[in-house]
Amino acid sequence: MGYEVAMKALVLSLVLDAVAGVHPSKIVPAIYVFGDSTLDVGNNNYLPGKDVPRANKPYYGVDFPGSKPTGRFSNGYNMADFIAKTLGFERSPMAYLALKAHNFLIPRAFIRGVSYASAGAGILDSTNAGNNIPLSKQVSYFQATKAEMESKVGPHVVRDLLSKSFFLVGVGSNDLFAFTTALAKQNKSGTQSDAAALLGSLISNYSTTITELYKLGARKFGIINVGPVGCIPRVRVLSPTGGCSGGLNQLAVGLDGALKSLLAGLAPKLPGMAYSIADSYNLTQATLGDPMAAGFASSDSACCGSGRLGAQGECSDPTATLCPNRNRYIFWDSIHTTQRAAMIGARTFYDGPPSFTTPINFKTLAHHT
């Protein structure tokens, strides 16, 4: 038997095992991840350019196995990892560009899935353009992955695999940051019509993304909405009082509401589509409102950074300091949460109360047939 034929037979065997649920700990055969730095597990390490956001230096990864930076914007694991763990995997699937660089895309795409998420990415191509993999490009990469998969085992097997797999999407924060930053540079305060135009554009593009993924075979969508981005340390430090930005939070509320309406409208039009919205906004607000209830002592400062609120310097700077007890902090750096906060979020979205997931939780979605 030739090498190519033997490898094709091996891949087909692995895929059929995954689809049939031979590995009992896995609830779904594979996970495909799309989004920004909250889910990125290293794609940006492979992008050229000095302005590309990367988490490949200490203290990033200090609590990851081996205490090494991996490209995750966390002290350890991130939200994608913990959601993958709830679904029976060891951690998030590997970054697409890492798999391509090491020729591991096949069979990893079959038996674990792929992460296309990229730090700095937005729903719009224009958001931080040139320094990330925008959402539309992430979908294009998935389309190319699917074509490679089909070339190995045929379209019918791939269709069955994808229909049972979990598609995790978390994006939108960077679009809001880009919008408010552009207004600030122009010394303008945005009008309601400006905000409405932005949200309309974001939802239109989000709709295109979900529809394209559906056409490519996705059926189970786990969507993480945008959290209260006006309350991250990097935004708080701009206020003399250290308070949240009401304007940014209102944009997030508007986007989340429009996203909820979008998905409720799309699902009846796309046969077989099932979805769960993880309410990052309300969960984060609840945690910020009573941090001690979740075991946190700090709710406004970064564990890793420098200056006021730990938000005036980057975590990767040589001058950065590191808090001694990461588990007591909600925020790891000036933007992202600690791995403990991510773990609490993932577990809540998986099988927590209905107040933080709609219309079903991730567990029900994963078991949906």
SS (H, E, C) the chain: CCHHHHHHHHHHHHHHHHHHCCCCCCCCCCEEEEECCCCCCCHHHHCCCCCCCCCCCCCCCCCCCCCCCCCCCCCCCCHHHHHHHHCCCCCCCCEHHHHHHCCCHHHHHHHCEEECCCCCCCCCCCCCCCCCCCHHHHHHHHHHHHHHHHHHHCHHHHHHHHHHCEEEEECCHHHHHHHHHHHHHCCCCCCHHHHHHHHHHHHHHHHHHHHHHHHCCCCEEEEECCCCHHHCHHHHCCCCCCCCCHHHHHHHHHHHHHHHHHHHHHHHHCCCCEEEEECHHHHHHHHHHCHHHHCCCEEEEECEEECHHHCCECCCCCCCEECCCHHHEEECCCCCECHHHHHHHHHHHHHCCHHHEECCCHHHHHHCC
Distance, CA of 364 to chain centre:
20
| pLDDT, tens digit (0-9, with 9 covering 90-100), for 300-356 | 999 999 999 999 999 999 999 999 999 999 999 999 999 999 999 999 999 988 999
Which residues, in sequence order, are CB contacts of 193 under 8 Å at separation 6+?
none
- HSE (side-chain half, CA atoms, 13 Å) at 154: 6
> Side chain identity at 51, as an amino acid letter?
D
Q: Between 155-164 and 135-153, two packed helices, what is the crossing angle to 10 degrees?
A: 130
Which of 36, 92, 300, 336 is catalytic? The answer is 336
Measure the CA–CA gap between 64 and 290, rounded to whole angstroms: 27
- pLDDT given for residue 1 in this prediction: 42
Percentage of residues in the chain with pLDDT exceeding 70? 93
pLDDT in tens, 204-228: 999 999 999 999 999 999 999 999 9
pLDDT at 190: 78
Average pLDDT of the residues in 111-122: 98
| pLDDT confidence of residue 11 | 44
Determine the average pLDDT of the residues in 27-36.
Answer: 98
Residue 22's pLDDT is what? 40
Hey, CA dihedral for 37, 42, 43, 44, is it positive or negative? positive
- The Cα 69–Cα 315 span in angstroms is 12
Instruction: Give the confidence band of 112 by pLDDT, cuts at 50, 70, 90.
Output: very high
Task: Name which of 291, 305, 302 is nearest 344 in CA terms.
Answer: 291
Arithmetic mean of pLDDT, 282-289 = 98
* Average predicted confidence (pLDDT) for the chain: 94
Q: Is the pLDDT score of 3 beyond 70?
A: no
Picking from 309, 299, 289, the residue whose alpha carbon sits closest to that of residue 340 is 299
Q: Is the pLDDT of residue 57 over 90?
A: yes
* d(C-alpha 216, C-alpha 150), whole Å: 12
What are the boundaries of each domain within the chain?
3-367
54-66 average pLDDT score: 98
Catalytic residue among 36, 37, 256, 279: 37
CATH number for region 3-367: 3.40.50.1110
What does the alpha-carbon distance between residue 63 and residue 341 come to, in Å, rounded to a whole number? 14
| Residues written for the chain | 369
Average pLDDT over residues 11-40: 74
Give how far Cα 9 sits from Cα of 5, 109, 133, 153, Å: 6, 16, 33, 8
- Chain-centroid distance of CA 50 in Å reads 23
Q: If you compute the radius of gyration of the chain from its CA atoms, what whole number of angstroms results?
A: 20
Question: What pLDDT was estimated at residue 231?
Answer: 99
- Identify whether 351 is a catalytic site residue: no
Interatomic CA distance for residues 23 and 29, integer angstroms: 9
Cβ–Cβ under 8 Å, residues 165 and 89: no
Structure confidence by residue, pLDDT tens digits, 135-191? 999 999 999 999 999 999 999 999 999 999 999 999 999 999 999 999 988 877 778
Quick check: 12 pLDDT over 80?
no
Angle of helix 173-185 relative to helix 246-266, nearest 10 degrees? Answer: 140
Catalytic residue among 36, 279, 300, 333: 333
Query: Is 367 tagged catalytic?
Result: no
Residue 10: pLDDT band with limits 50, 70, 90: very low
Per the annotation, the verdict on 207 as an active-site residue is no
